[in-house]
């Protein structure tokens, strides 16, 4: 009966593979947001390799930002060490300004601009990558940023990673499910063999035909017995000794009386 319980657990595990989509997306969202936020902190102990990791991620998964390339416009991703603070558009300012201006200005001491790291660049583009002033059409010759599909990776990294992990997890789930079906069929066959052999022994002739069955006492009765067994699973030893010392055969007490 412990085998049935185990089989049931395997099924639950397989089904859980299909239901964890939401949690996975939430974790990816959180992790990517943090990673992008600390991209510039290459001097900070513990975050020195974050830039490298994010760059590799964007290149390998052909993605940019968390939701998309515009995520890089909302944060300062270049360290102050590499910014000329004496320039006007890099100066610290606490002015609240319009969104368009914010892209080229400082808000609360942060240098924001419509540029992305090199790893966002689509390697399939015939044109050398445009990384700076992405939303300014007049800053580049023959450039229309709304229709430019090939310049940067258009997909956000959360989406790319989610598709990747969902694919892996669903493959695992499918394998477990198939294994489970196989296990169930073997278990069913063995159960028929066991009961028919038992009946043959009772008739005293193993060569004659005998009936086999899956459930001896009907569905509801069996479910009740199994529930009791699972309830008592902590006291497994007591159950085993109660069944004639053989832990593999759960003979209901009613059938012993036959
Ligand atoms: C767009 O680029 C042009 C040419 O470099 C520049 O003169 C203009 O100020 C830029 N516009 C914005 C909004 O940054």
pLDDT in tens, 157-210: 999 999 999 899 889 989 999 999 999 999 999 988 888 888 888 888 777 777
DSSP 179: H
Location of structure tokens 């580049």:
140
The tokens describing 47, both together, are 């975050």
The chain-wide mean pLDDT, for the chain, equals: 80
Q: Name the residue at shortest CA distance from atom 4 of ligand 1.
A: 139
pLDDT band (50, 70, 90) for residue 226: confident
Q: Side-chain half-sphere of 150: how many Cα atoms within 13 Å? A: 7
> What average pLDDT does the segment 91-120 reach?
62
Q: Name the residue at shortest CA distance from atom 6 of ligand 1.
A: 139
Cα dihedral value 97, 98, 103, 106, nearest 10: 0
Indicate the SS3 state at residue 210: coil
pLDDT for the residue 97: 39
Q: Per-residue pLDDT for 99 more than 50?
A: no
Task: Indicate the pTM of the whole model.
Answer: 0.66
Exposure letters 116-141 (e unless 16+ CB within 10 A, then b): bbebbbbeeeeeeebbebbeeeeebe
Q: What is the percent of the chain where pLDDT is above 90?
A: 36
Q: Side-chain half-sphere of 22: how many Cα atoms within 13 Å? A: 2
Which ligand 1 atom sits closest to the C-alpha of 104?
A: 14
The rounded Å distance from CA 225 to ligand 1 centre is 79
Residue partners of 212: CB distance under 8 A and separation at least 6: 191, 192, 193, 194, 195, 196, 199
Write the pLDDT tens digit of every residue in 137-168.
Answer: 999 999 998 888 889 999 999 999 999 998 99
Which ligand 1 atom sits closest to the C-alpha of 136?
A: 1
Substitution candidate for ligand 1 out of 134, 138, 145 with most atoms within 8 A of CB: 138
pLDDT for the residue 147: 86
Residues contacting ligand 1 via CB (< 6 Å): 104, 133, 136, 138-139
pLDDT band (50, 70, 90) for residue 220: confident
The rounded Å distance from CA 132 to ligand 1 centre is 11
pLDDT band (50, 70, 90) for residue 218: confident
Q: How far apart are CA 91 and CA 68, in angstroms?
A: 27
The tokens describing 50, both together, are 């974050």
Q: Per-residue pLDDT for 256 more than 50?
A: no
The tokens describing 230, both together, are 């699972």
Q: How far apart are CA 216 and CA 222, in angstroms?
A: 8
Substitution candidate for ligand 1 out of 88, 130, 139, 143 with most atoms within 8 A of CB: 139
pLDDT for the residue 110: 72
The rounded Å distance from CA 100 to ligand 1 centre is 12
Domain positions in the chain: 14-160
| Inter-residue contact 227 to 1 (CB < 8 Å) | no
The rounded Å distance from CA 140 to ligand 1 centre is 9
Q: Name the residue at shortest CA distance from atom 7 of ligand 1.
A: 139
Q: Per-residue pLDDT for 65 more than 90?
A: yes
Between the alpha carbon of residue 32 and those of residues 51, 64, 156, the distances in Å are 12, 11, 10
Q: Name the residue at shortest CA distance from atom 2 of ligand 1.
A: 139
């Amino acid at each position: 009966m412990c085998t049935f319980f185990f089989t049931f657990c395997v099924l639950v595990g397989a089904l859980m593979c299909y239901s964890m989509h939401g949690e996975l997306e939430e974790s990816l969202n959180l992790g990517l947001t943090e990673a992008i936020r600390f991209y510039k902190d290459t001097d900070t102990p513990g975050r020195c390799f974050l830039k490298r990791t994010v760059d590799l991620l964007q290149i390998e998964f052909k993605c940019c930002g968390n939701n998309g390339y515009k995520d890089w416009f909302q944060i300062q991703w270049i360290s102050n060490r590499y910014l000329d603070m004496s320039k006007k558009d890099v100066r610290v300012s606490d002015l609240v300004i319009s969104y368009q201006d914010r892209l080229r200005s400082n808000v609360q001491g942060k240098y924001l601009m419509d540029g992305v790291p090199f790893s966002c660049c689509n390697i399939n583009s015939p044109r050398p990558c445009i990384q700076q002033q992405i939303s300014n059409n007049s800053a580049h010759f023959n450039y229309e940023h709304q229709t430019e599909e090939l310049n940067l990776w258009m997909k956000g990294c959360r989406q790319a990673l989610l598709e990747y992990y969902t694919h892996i997890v669903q493959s695992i789930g499918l394998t477990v499910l198939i294994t489970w079906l196989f296990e169930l069929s073997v278990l069913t066959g063995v159960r028929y063999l066991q009961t028919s052999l038992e009946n043959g022994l009772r008739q005293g002739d193993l060569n004659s035909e005998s009936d086999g069955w899956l459930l001896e006492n009907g569905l509801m009765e069996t479910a009740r017995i199994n529930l009791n067994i699972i309830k008592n699973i902590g006291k497994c030893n007591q159950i085993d000794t109660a069944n004639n010392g053989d832990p593999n055969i759960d003979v209901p007490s009613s059938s012993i009386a036959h």
